[in-house]
Amino acid sequence: MSESPTETATTTTTTGEIRLEIPAAPEYLRLARLAVADVGARAGWSYEDIDDLRIAVDELCYAIGAGAEHGRLTLAYRVDGQQIEVHGRGEETTPLAAPGELARAIIAAVVDEFDLDVDALTFRFAKRA
């Protein structure tokens, strides 16, 4: 029996970059958080900085449709010296709502820079240790 592509999660690792593809469904947000936490831990970051990465990934994935229950999200985690950068892209998904004031305040406080394009279903953020 072939597995439905909407129920699979795959990771691909290349030098300096990890890619994670997950269904755009709320129960996979934890996987996105775990992956970025691992990237931060391998880079030797503090618990607080790793927590910041988890928060940012979670909020931005939600903003590009992680709650939709349809479509997929592709995340690319890149380590560059003292900086970790994460790119997210949604495919065939729909954001449940534009990120509110609370979410934006949280994201802005935990990363050094971020771009979010809700129409294009993309985000990028960078954080330096």
Residues that bind other proteins (CB under 8 A): 25-27, 29-30, 33, 48, 51, 54-55, 58-59, 62, 66-67, 99-100, 102-103, 105-106, 109-110
Which is nearer to other proteins, 17 or 31 (by Cβ)?
A: 31
Tokens 């240790």 label which residue?
Answer: 129
Total count of residues recorded for the chain: 129
Which is nearer to other proteins, 84 or 99 (by Cβ)?
A: 99
Nearest CA to 125 among 62, 77, 74? 77
- The distance of closest approach from Cβ of residue 55 to other proteins in the complex, given in angstroms and rounded to an integer, is 7
Report the distance separating Cα 80 and Cα 42, nearest Å. 12
Find how far residue 43's CA is from the centre of its chain. Answer: 17
- The distance of closest approach from Cβ of residue 57 to other proteins in the complex, given in angstroms and rounded to an integer, is 10
- The distance of closest approach from Cβ of residue 15 to other proteins in the complex, given in angstroms and rounded to an integer, is 30
- The distance of closest approach from Cβ of residue 37 to other proteins in the complex, given in angstroms and rounded to an integer, is 10
Contact 43, 86 (CB under 8 A): no
